[in-house]
Amino acid sequence: MTYKPIICITLGTRPEAIKLAPVIQQFQTCEQLLAMIRAGFVQRVSVTL
């Protein structure tokens, strides 16, 4: 079983989302990565490998 690297993009404001939209779209189309997009305030992020 192969694992894809995970890219997590957290956006706080609408202007950030607008500016990063082209970058996010490129990450989402890449088949070698798993892109996760989160919007709003994030209090805690934990990663388990």
What does the pLDDT read at residue 35?
Answer: 86
Distance CA 24, CA 8 (A): 10
Which residue matches tokens 């070698």?
A: 32
Predicted pLDDT of residue 8: 86
- Domain definitions of the chain by residue range: 1-49
Report DSSP state, residue 5: P
Q: Give me the pLDDT at residue 48, please.
A: 61
Among residues 27, 46, 44, 34, the alpha carbon closest in space to that of 2 is found at: 34
1-49 per-position pLDDT tens digit: 678 888 888 888 888 888 988 998 898 898 898 888 887 765 555 556 5
